[in-house]
Amino acid sequence: SAVISQKPSRDICQRGTSLTIQCQVDSQVTMMFWYRQQPGQSLTLIATANQGSEATYESGFVIDKFPISRPNLTFSTLTVSNMSPEDSSIYLCSVSKDYDQYFGPGTRLTVL
Amino acid sequence: AQTVTQSQPEMSVQEAETVTLSCTYDTSENNYYLFWYKQPPSRQMILVIRQEAYKQQNATENRFSVNFQKAAKSFSLKISDSQLGDTAMYFCAFMKGGAQKLVFGQGTRLTINP
């Protein structure tokens, strides 16, 4: 399995600002994933982050809005840029190990 | 593209009863994995069970078991002897072999009543 931590656990932000979410894993992993869960909805993949290469974004998500860093095999960040109230969601990072995918506790973001 | 459908938005049963959550999926892939995740109010996503498509035997984890019907593209979760702590959102998810990213269904909100 994998133990994943995220910071911050929650935040309230003003529109037009940016927030960087950190994700730390207790072991080295090749791929890390960032998901968004809008209120009352299911999870949608934002992007896949590989160490040493640019993140791969899913349809509907762009790098300018959600820049991702992956400086090493245990850490990644997701930035939500120029936020609007529509960005209010839970953001979760996850990692894949042995065909199973494990999730962090999530970051609850509220944009006013 | 793969799609996952959970047709039951909400379910409610009494404690100790057995409950079955439904999930269907659509794919042209032959190598894939299916999962059930539990998300309690704490919002932590917890892996409940995994099924490999190439395995005919249904996966089982304690009180949780699946009924995997590959031809029908159906993957239901059975919870036996339900407990109050089973109250949560349950998500069915699909992963193409080698892709590692998950496609989720819409979720089923399960409530276990005392």
Question: How close does chain A come to B31, measured CA to CA in Å?
Answer: 12
Contact (CB<8Å) B95/A101: yes
Contact B32, B96 (CB under 8 A): yes
Nearest Cα of chain A lies from the Cα of B89 at a distance, in angstroms, of 10
Quick one: what percent of chain B has pLDDT higher than 90? 88
Residue of B nearest to A98 (CA): B100
- Asked if A42 reaches chain B (Cβ–Cβ under 8 Å), the answer is yes
Residue A81 distance to chain B (closest CA, Å): 23
Question: Chain B within 8 Å of A99 (Cβ-Cβ)?
Answer: yes
pLDDT score recorded for residue A27:
94
Q: Taking CA atoms, what residue in B is nearest to A108?
A: B43
Location of structure tokens 């269907």 = B24
Q: How far apart are CA A29 and CA A72, in angstroms?
A: 9
- The pair of three-digit structure tokens given for residue A7, joined into one six-digit string: 């910071």
Q: A104 to chain B nearest CA, in Å?
A: 7
One pLDDT digit (tens) per residue for chain A, 112 residues: 899 999 999 999 999 999 999 999 999 998 999 999 999 999 999 999 988 888 999 999 999 999 999 999 999 999 999 999 999 999 999 998 888 899 999 999 999 9
A31: nearest CA in chain B?
B100
Provide CB contacts within 8 A for B8, sequence distance 6+. B21, B22, B108
The tokens describing B28, both together, are 């042209």
Q: Is some CB atom of chain B closer than 8 A to the CB atom of A48?
A: yes
Note whether B16 contacts A: Cβ–Cβ < 8 A.
Answer: no
Backbone angle region of B56, left / alpha / beta, with phi > 0 → left and psi within -120 to 50 → alpha: alpha
- Residue of A31, A103, A108 lying closest to B45 (CB–CB): A103
* Phi, psi (deg, nearest 5) at residue B85: -70, -5
A31 close to B (CB below 8 A): yes
Looking at residue B109, what is its pLDDT? 97
Rounded CA gap, B15 and B6, in Å?
23
Whole-number pLDDT of residue B100: 79
B64 has a pLDDT exceeding 80? yes
Q: Is B1 exposed, middle or buried (0-12, 13-18, 19+ CB in 10 A)?
A: exposed
